[in-house]
Amino acid sequence: MTRLLGPIAFALLLCPFLYSQQPAALPKAQAFWNVDDIKPGMRGEGRSVVKGVKIETFQAEVLGVMRNSSPGRDLILCRLSGMNLEKSGVIQGMSGSPIYVDGKLLGAVAYTWAFGKEPIAGVTPFSQMVSFAAAHERREIADAKKKPTRIGLSRPILLDGRAYNDVTISNDYREPTPTAADGLWLIPLKTPVMTSGMSPRSLAVLRDYFKDTGLVPMQGGGVGGNIPAEERNISLAPGSALSIAMITGDFDMSGIGTVTHVEGKRVYGFGHPFMSLGSCDLPLMTGYTHAIYPRVSISFKLGSPMRTVGIINADTSTCVAGWLDRQPDMMPLSSTIVREPEGKPQTFNVKIARLKTMMGPLVHAALTNSVDMEGNFPEEMSARVKARIEVDGHGSMMFDDWAAGPMFVGDRAAQQLYAPLAQLVQMLGANSFETLRIKSIECSTEVHPERRTAEIESCELVNDTLAPGETLKAIVTLRAFKGTKHRVILEIPLPADIAEGMHTALIGDELNNVRMDLRDNPHLGMPQTIEHQLQMLRMQLAAKRTNLVMRVPLMGGSGVTSSGKALTNLPPSMVQILSSSRRTNNQTIFNALVARASTNYVLMGADSLRFQVTKSRKAP
């Protein structure tokens, strides 16, 4: 998986902004089959779209019912035919296709037999789709049983001349090995995630994030202008394409599945989870199917979203469900790219779904794609990134820094450039103290066609023995990339009460200094309140790679943290007493003397120097 590299180490998780829930319009029980009444040999028909928006029918034969395929769930095994499924097999994007027996709804196509020679599908009973959606089942339940389940059949079934006595059901989206495929092995149908306006590099980023999920990002395209108005304005119906958007605007990304049932303004689909989000707030859109892409293992649909008609507000282990005629709460993101020396700005605007675990990666992909839309970075480049992240109730989070160096060249430069911002978005949602809602993100990037880096080549102290109250002075030599040397002088006045003995001066960039600040302030390094969490983030955001810093750690603690509270400026005796107490989890706070100087370079490297403080030193 592509890791979010950068100077800011953030956790990954995001809590959504939730709609207040209203009671669903539940379908009448007589409109769908009870699992207890389903018998092998029943025959019916299903509905799905293979081209455009026209709903077509296929045939289905019940082969058996598999009880407790996962906690609280059953699965119906069916053989499908018609609609060219004998050649294509069950298709990714058919998830949710309804099957009816004697006019009553049986359930939704959700699983398939990869590499099988017959189109065998696992069908989620609609009765369980309704109950799970009404309960807004959480992810922990959906993932409660990860190991494949082998279920014996009451009587063998004959497929392609071979008898099968049991079925293995896996909730792992990865396709089984050919050995496993030799048996009757059902896996959930993956969800094709169609994109338009996304570059190959941005798709690669998304594939890395999604590789262990049921989402398969691929390049699609918008709906052409020649599509008739009646098709563009089509309403959702059982069997029609159902799109769930994650990014909309100047470029977009959405998952493609099928509608299972519409009850009033309540919509059910997929027959399996989208991302196991539980409660959510995602755009519910109509869709257009361009073609079926055939594969030996599992074929898939190529399609595009058309128009937003409501929201998906429940993503459970048996289905997705939503409401028509509601507006989703999306996060606006604008990204402006300026390439020097031309200096002509290009701005891209998108809206991003407030996905629980994927908001950071989606921001990462959107920003990366903004750069790719403007062409490749120069081979040797520097970039200044400025961003404003507005957080409800907590003001703005500001970022303004330069990036350059060996990590920021080649195809992955844009990914590395925006990784800290993506991690920040994830961290804001990952905090365990308060649900934070990001109102908007504005980002601008200046790209310069030269590498503005400098190595810390050497450091020396003007004097390595000083008395308390004197000034520590260091001369730092920087060597610019393919350029000249520069000298920078850093000075720190020593306090009159500084402890005698050997001390260390640490020299590096400001990011390294902030890491040491967090280490010396446990209430910020391991925050236990939202205030400390945001203070920690702002400290890191304020640090600049272009600032040269000299840091002198002071001996002895200056305070303690107690139950997440910082007690500072304490007498040394009190620090010692509180720090050594066995009754509490107190930790010592340390101080340091710091001097900084701004430069025109992204700094690389670090050094340390030793010096002695003694009261017996004679004044020069």
Q: Mind listing the pLDDT tens digit for each residue in 34-68?
A: 999 999 999 999 999 999 999 999 999 999 998 88
Bridge partners (DSSP) listed for residue 331? 352
Of 225, 277, 229, 227, the C-alpha closest to 255 is: 277
By DSSP bridging, strand 191-196 and strand 215-219 are: parallel
Q: Which segment of 119-123, 270-274, 432-436, 438-442 scores lowest on mean pLDDT?
A: 432-436
Assess whether pLDDT exceeds 60 at residue 18: no
Report, as an integer, the average pLDDT of 227-245: 89
Of 104 and 142, more confident: 104
Report, as an integer, the average pLDDT of 212-237: 79
Cβ contact 543:513 at 8 Å:
yes
**Strand, helix or coil at 369?**
helix
**How far is the C-alpha of 402 from the C-alpha of 107, rounded, in Å?**
55
Q: Which range among 43-57, 132-146, 371-385 has the greatest average pLDDT?
A: 43-57
**How far is the C-alpha of 415 from the C-alpha of 429, rounded, in Å?**
21
Which strands form 559-562's sheet, in the order they lie side by side? 565-567, 559-562, 587-589
Assess whether pLDDT exceeds 80 at residue 117: no
Single-letter code of the amino acid located at 162: R
Cβ contact 361:13 at 8 Å:
no
Report, as an integer, the average pLDDT of 192-201: 84
pLDDT in tens, 295-316: 767 778 888 889 999 999 999 9
**How far is the C-alpha of 603 from the C-alpha of 596, rounded, in Å?**
13
- Compute and round to an integer the Cα radius of gyration of the chain: 30
pTM for this entry: 0.82
pLDDT of residue 431: 83
pLDDT of residue 564: 66
Bridge partners (DSSP) listed for residue 335? 348, 443
Bridge partners (DSSP) listed for residue 387? 399, 443
pLDDT of residue 563: 67
Of 486 and 73, more confident: 486
Give the model's confidence band at 225: pLDDT under 50 very low, under 70 low, under 90 confident, else very high. low
pLDDT of residue 17: 31
pLDDT of residue 173: 74
Instruction: Tell me which CATH code domain 331-448 carries.
Output: 3.10.20
**How far is the C-alpha of 537 from the C-alpha of 350, rounded, in Å?**
25
pLDDT of residue 41: 93
For the chain, percent of residues with pLDDT exceeding 90: 52
Where does the chain hold its CATH 3.10.20 domain(s)? 331-448
Assess whether pLDDT exceeds 50 at residue 337: yes
pLDDT of residue 26: 75
Q: What is the mean pLDDT of the chain?
A: 85
Cβ contact 536:525 at 8 Å:
yes
pLDDT of residue 348: 94
pLDDT of residue 619: 54
Assess whether pLDDT exceeds 80 at residue 319: yes
Assess whether pLDDT exceeds 50 at residue 8: no
Q: Which segment of 5-9, 190-194, 435-439, 528-532 scores lowest on mean pLDDT?
A: 5-9
